[in-house]
Amino acid sequence: MLKIPVINRSKHALPEYATPLSAGLDMRANLDESIILKPLERAMIPTGLFIELPEGFEAQVRPRSGLAAKNGISVLNSPGTIDADYRGEIKVILVNLSNDLFIIEDGERVAQLIVAKHERVDWIPSEELGSSERGSGGFGSTGTK
């Protein structure tokens, strides 16, 4: 299991996996007072968490499916990326895509955090690419069903 240094300046326990096979850790809002999100409004939600990821890893901030399905609340820049060299507080950009007000309370689970390996690339300038069965087809070109 990957060990990640974390500073918790929130009033809440460290993020946890909801089940033994969960991929994402539940992130909680760390608020002094509730935040009201009007329809189509967005807000930066502090978590009080600071992490030190190892080189070659990123953390992805993703929406919680329950908030999205039940309330129309999502992470605006989904997935938000936390780079290994970032040392600031993790904040979640929530957006209200519903027609109703939504109140964010202190301690509410507002997003998931997934830590993942990633690769860096070196570009090879080329004049043409190898062929594939798909070719240049995109945006629905692999079928309509």
- 68-94 pLDDT, tens digit per residue, is 999 999 999 999 999 999 999 999 999
CATH for 6-117, options being 2.70.40.10, 3.10.620.30, 3.40.1440.10, 2.120.10.30: 2.70.40.10
Instruction: Give me the mean pLDDT over the 32-43 stretch.
Output: 98
Cβ-contact 102, 96 below 8 angstroms: yes
